[in-house]
Structure formats: C-alpha cells, structure tokens
Amino acid sequence: MLNRGYAYTTIISSKYHGQSLLRHLASLYPHSSKEAWQEKLNNGEVTLNGVPATGGESVTLGETLVWNRPPWIEPGAPRHYEVLFEDTHLLAVSKPGGLPTLPGGGFMENTLLRLVQERCPSANPVHRLGRATSGIVLFAKTPEAASRLFQDWNTPKIQKIYRALAQNRAKHDTYEILTPIGRVPHPLIGIVWAAHPSGKPSRSVATVLSRSDGATTFEVSLHSGRPHQIRIHLASIGHPLVGDPLYGANGQPLETLPGLPGDGGYFLHAHYLKFQHPVTGEQIDLEAALPA
C-alpha cells in the first residue's frame, strides 16, 4: 500500500556543528549515498530551519533539519489483531507475527499502532514487541493508566511470560539468565543491542517445556525489560531462537546476516501478562493463544 509519507525531524547537536549538510544527511541516514541524498535535496525534500536546503550549507547547533520523505509502498504485513481486554483505561490485543508494533524500518501504516488507533485514537502502547514476535501488547487509553503502567512495567508488579522455540537440546530444566545487555557495534547495521559485560543488568528465567533432537521449547519469564532480551538471553546460554536472523552464540549479533534484523523466521510469543489494573486495582490475567 502507498502511505502518506513522513517528515523525519532532528535537531542539530553540538557533535555535528559545522559539518556540511550533505555529509550530515549521509551519516544520519546511511541507507542512502551522498549522491542519492543530493538528488533528494534537488527534489526539495529537505529543509533546514524551514528553508529548502541545497546540501552545501554548514549545519549549526540547534537548527531543525527535516526530511520530508514522499509516500512509498510499504512492505506487506498482516493487518489483523485480536482484542483480549478493553475498558475505559486499557486495551490489550494479540499481535500476529510479522506486524510491527510501531512505525519504523519502512513501515508507517502497516503497524499495530496505526490499526489500533483507527479503533481508539487515544490508545498508545505501554511496551513493544519485535516485528516477528506474536502475542500480547498492552495499550493505555488514558494518561493516568499510562503513567502507572510505565512506573510498574519493569517491576515484579507486572508478570510477563513468553513461549520460545530455541536451537539445541537443553541440558537443564531451568535457567536463571543474568547476562547484561548493552549496545555493540556491527559492521553492517551500525549499533545493535547484544550481550555486553558492561551493559545494563538483566534477568530472565527460562523453564524447559519440551525437548526434541535439535531444539527446546522454553517458557520464559522476564524480570527486566531490555530490547530483544529473550533473544539475547537464550542465545547467551547456547540456545539462539530457531530461525533468528540476528543473534547467535553467546548472545552476539551474527557478522553475516541471513536477513534484516527485523525479519521474521524465529518463534517467540508473548503468552501471558498478569498485573493489577492501574486504576481499578482489579487483577488482570491475559492470555494470547499460541499461533498455529
């Protein structure tokens, strides 16, 4: 589908003060070469402080840079979801694998956020799932609910349980995984989250549900909320998700990627979510059925 385009807005920081605009654009958005950016500039797609830019300008601290990206045909994605719970303050849905939660990576309209806001314009997600991950996504419909949920999200007050299919046969029945997670450089995609000794403290508990010759099905409880935590944690103990295009042994990104980081192919499902309602105080127990 052809979307409505998008205006990407940034404020020039001191790090880039004095850099040429063309060079800055090519470093800020490395998906396009300097030649491609010059063509976008010639087409009037870029403004600096509201004035159409040519590319030869030197950027200055505090200036507003806007790239008005014209409408484009987005990659295909499933455009359905199941409502699990709804009241005045909350909306919980089950997301299919392959549908991004938020805009990004070429997706604007084919996202769960856009679809849910067609139903409820005030709804905003309290958290996000990776594009390939299926299962429960919780939205807040009021500022009061959002504030309390954000405050409690990475505490024991919110119980988050996932189902994961991982490579290799597990030797133990239960694993407490404390691998720190931080940002590491990658030769193809810049900076990614991965296992890192000086990263942020992280905790997951993985329990074996079943084993086969070359794989293990885990139930994983999250006790922190780092990006790609389950994918990184299981990989760090020798069990990368089956079909994961990004993470390999030791929770490190693969140097040669079989696909883009957001691509599907792995099996991860947000199965249960249990918490006290942020406004009424009632116990909410949500379950998203496993996809076929």
In the chain the domains, ranked by start, together with CATH numbers, are: 6-69 (3.10.290.10), 74-153 (3.30.2350.10), 154-261 (3.30.2350.10)
Task: State the pLDDT confidence band at 288, using cuts at 50, 70 and 90.
Answer: very high
Q: How far apart are CA 28 and CA 242, in angstroms?
A: 33
Instruction: Provide the H-helix boundaries in the chain.
Output: 21-28, 34-42, 112-119, 143-152, 229-236
Average pLDDT over residues 170-195: 91
Average pLDDT over residues 71-86: 93
CA atoms within 13 A on the CB side of 47: 11
Q: Is the pLDDT of residue 261 over 60?
A: no
Q: How far apart are CA 126 and CA 147, in angstroms?
A: 9
Three-class SS of residue 229?
A: helix
Task: State the pLDDT confidence band at 227, using cuts at 50, 70 and 90.
Answer: very high
Q: Is the pLDDT of residue 114 over 70?
A: yes
Q: Is the pLDDT of residue 202 over 80?
A: yes
Task: State the pLDDT confidence band at 183, using cuts at 50, 70 and 90.
Answer: very high
Q: 24 φ, ψ to 5°?
A: -65, -45
Task: State the pLDDT confidence band at 264, using cuts at 50, 70 and 90.
Answer: low
Three-class SS of residue 19?
A: coil
Three-class SS of residue 289?
A: coil
Average pLDDT, the chain: 93
Residue 211: how many CB atoms within 10 A of its CB? 14
**CB contact at 8 A, 270 and 130:** no
Torsion sign over Cα 195, 196, 202, 203: positive
pLDDT at residue 32, rounded to an integer: 87
The helix-helix angle for 34-42 and 21-28 (nearest 10°) equals 120
Q: Which helix (H) or strand (E) holds 236?
A: helix 229-236
pLDDT at residue 189, rounded to an integer: 73
Nearest to 88 by CA among 283, 280, 288: 280
Residues 6+ apart with CB under 8 A from 160: 221, 222, 270, 272, 273
What are 230-260's pLDDT values in tens digits? 999 999 999 999 989 889 989 999 887 655 5
Residues 6+ apart with CB under 8 A from 15: none
Higher pLDDT, 117 or 264: 117
- DSSP for 167-214, written as a single string: ES--SSSEEEE---EEEEEETTTEEEEEE-TTSB---EEEEEEEE-SS
Q: How does DSSP classify residue 62? A: T
What whole-number percentage of the chain has pLDDT above 70?
97
Counting every residue written for the chain, the total comes to 292
Q: What is the pTM of this model?
A: 0.85
Q: Is the pLDDT of residue 188 over 80?
A: no
